[in-house]
Amino acid sequence: MSTHTPHNAPTTADDDTPLGDVDAERRALIVNATKAFGLAGAACVALPFISSMNPSRSVKAMATIDVPLSEIPLGDAKTYLWQGKPVFVWHRNAEQIAAAQQGDATATMDPAKDADRVQKAEWLVVMGVCSHLGCVPMRGGDHGGWRCPCHGSQFDDSGRVRVGPAGTNLEVPPYRFLDDATIRIG
């Protein structure tokens, strides 16, 4: 028995699919295409935004700095810039190390052992940022380390605060020895 299309369901020229079904398929196609364009558009808008959130090459470069220790004479401290802030690297001699260790007993404002603030006794690495209001301390003062020019705080041979108004020690930044001659800060 042959099938035939009902009179109220028109067909396409070359198959028996009712035109109502074709319209539904077209609608679905258009809706899907629109969604795809929408997603692509969102991606186009989002990409510059996302890439603007990535750190620039120069910022990445400053995320760590390598300090060649051979450029710091025994007994001297040098200042390096890390992430826009000064870091003091002090090549302490035997006398300075002894003074820092003796200070374990007398540094009472923010007590800390010198051995816990260094990885190797001859190298002290601290942020050059006063813990009071952020000025950059200078070598000097009565305690072997630094004196802040802004309000007179003083720090000892281990970067511990000895005279206020600062109330906490100079911060030790993250760092590690890459070898005996180089430290990486950051």
CB of 129 to ligand FES, least distance (A): 9
From 91, 132, 143, 151, the catalytic residue: 151
Q: Looking at beta carbons only, is 86 or 165 nearer to ligand FES?
A: 165
- C-alpha–C-alpha distance, residues 23 and 10, integer Å: 12
Q: Looking at beta carbons only, is 153 or 158 nearer to ligand FES?
A: 153
CB of 172 to ligand FES, least distance (A): 18
| Ramachandran category for residue 91: left, alpha or beta (phi over 0 → left; psi -120 to 50 → alpha) | beta
- The strand order across the sheet containing 154-156 reads 138-139, 144-147, 154-156, 161-163
Q: List residues near ligand FES by CB under 6 A.
A: 130, 132-135, 148, 150-153, 165-166
Kindly report the number of other CB atoms within 10 A of residue 174's CB atom: 10
Q: Looking at beta carbons only, is 94 or 133 nearer to ligand FES?
A: 133
- C-alpha–C-alpha distance, residues 40 and 46, integer Å: 10
Whether 4 is catalytic is no
CB of 140 to ligand FES, least distance (A): 13
Kindly report the number of other CB atoms within 10 A of residue 89's CB atom: 21
Query: Is residue 83 within 8 Å of 62, Cβ to Cβ?
Result: yes
Both tokens assigned to 144: 């072997």
CB of 127 to ligand FES, least distance (A): 12
Q: Looking at beta carbons only, is 130 or 172 nearer to ligand FES?
A: 130
- C-alpha–C-alpha distance, residues 166 and 104, integer Å: 18
Q: What positions carry a catalytic annotation?
A: 151
